């Protein structure tokens, strides 16, 4: 699975590699190249799906790298960065079979060729609707300007690591709030909730 993602243009930022100064420099250079050429980058603020189904706190190193590279870029090469929050709502989750087991505490199973093939076959079946909602695009430069005015700071102060981390955390949390605002309660969720509230059965009177 990792080879497929790499061939498709994806790259992984694991914690062990991020401890290497050389690796961080390579990532910064790659991110700068993407920004310079107006390339799109898809990232997940939560990094992984939560077992509870609730939105987790942002924990994406690449998001911090993008902001850091933006501040370290000088001259005419500096371009604004636009973040577009995208929320995807499913009628039926592909990992529905493994999800209940994970809620009971079972460890997440790694992807195998057989598992990927099974998911591809499942994807051809009728799995209901998929609702995609786009949030309001957020300009990094505009958010920086608002942050500086609100906190009475200068650009020189914001470049310092502690303050830059605060700004990055605040902006990522705002992106997460936007994702939550665009969540849609699907029909399958409503039906599942009703069944869980009446585990002994539902009478026709209640359905009416």
Residues 68-88: pLDDT tens digits? 888 887 666 678 899 999 988
pLDDT tens sequence across 126-157: 667 888 999 899 999 999 999 999 989 888 88
Residue 122 forms part of a structural domain: no
Q: Please tell me the predicted confidence (pLDDT) of residue 74.
A: 66
Q: How many domains does the chain have?
A: 1
Residue 199 forms part of a structural domain: yes
Range of the domain at 173: 2-92+128-207
> What is the value of pTM for the model shown?
0.75
149 Cβ neighbours under 8 A, 6+ residues apart: none
pLDDT tens sequence across 15-36: 777 778 888 888 888 888 888 8
Residue 110 forms part of a structural domain: no
Residue 99 forms part of a structural domain: no
Q: Please tell me the predicted confidence (pLDDT) of residue 72.
A: 82
Q: Please tell me the predicted confidence (pLDDT) of residue 23.
A: 85
Q: Please tell me the predicted confidence (pLDDT) of residue 124.
A: 65
Euclidean distance between CA atoms 187 and 197, whole angstroms: 16
pLDDT over threshold 80, residue 95: no
Residue 100 forms part of a structural domain: no
Euclidean distance between CA atoms 68 and 13, whole angstroms: 15
Question: Nearest CA to 139 among 73, 85, 81, 76?
Answer: 81
Residue 29 forms part of a structural domain: yes
Question: Nearest CA to 32 among 85, 77, 75?
Answer: 77
Euclidean distance between CA atoms 106 and 160, whole angstroms: 42
Residue 97 forms part of a structural domain: no
Alpha carbon separation from 194 to 184, 188, 200 (Å, rounded) = 17, 10, 11
Q: Please tell me the predicted confidence (pLDDT) of residue 153.
A: 87
Question: Nearest CA to 164 among 56, 72, 85?
Answer: 72
Q: Please tell me the predicted confidence (pLDDT) of residue 134.
A: 92
Q: Please tell me the predicted confidence (pLDDT) of residue 71.
A: 85
Rounded to the nearest 10°, the torsion over CA 97, 186, 131, 100 is -20
Residue 25 forms part of a structural domain: yes
Lowest mean pLDDT among 135-149, 170-184, 188-202: 188-202
Question: Nearest CA to 81 among 5, 168, 162?
Answer: 168
């Amino acid at each position: 699975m990792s080879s497929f993602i790499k061939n498709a243009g994806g790259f992984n930022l694991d914690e062990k590699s991020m401890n290497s100064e050389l690796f961080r420099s390579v990532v910064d250079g790659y991110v700068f190249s993407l920004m310079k050429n107006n390339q799109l980058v898809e990232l997940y603020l939560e990094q992984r799906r939560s077992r509870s189904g609730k939105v987790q706190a942002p924990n994406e190193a690449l998001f911090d790298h993008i902001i850091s590279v933006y501040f370290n870029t000088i001259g005419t090469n500096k371009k604004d960065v636009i973040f577009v929050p995208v929320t995807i709502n499913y009628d039926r989750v592909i990992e529905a079979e493994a999800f209940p087991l994970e809620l009971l505490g079972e460890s997440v199973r790694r992807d195998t060729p057989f598992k990927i093939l099974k998911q591809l076959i499942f994807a051809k079946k009728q799995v209901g609707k998929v609702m995609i909602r786009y949030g309001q695009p957020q300009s990094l430069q505009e958010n920086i300007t608002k942050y500086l005015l609100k906190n009475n700071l200068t650009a020189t102060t914001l470049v310092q690591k502690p303050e830059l981390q605060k700004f990055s955390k605040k902006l990522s949390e705002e992106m997460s709030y936007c994702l939550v605002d665009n969540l849609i309660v699907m029909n399958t969720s409503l039906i599942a909730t009703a069944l869980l509230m009446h585990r002994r059965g539902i009478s026709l009177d209640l359905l009416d």
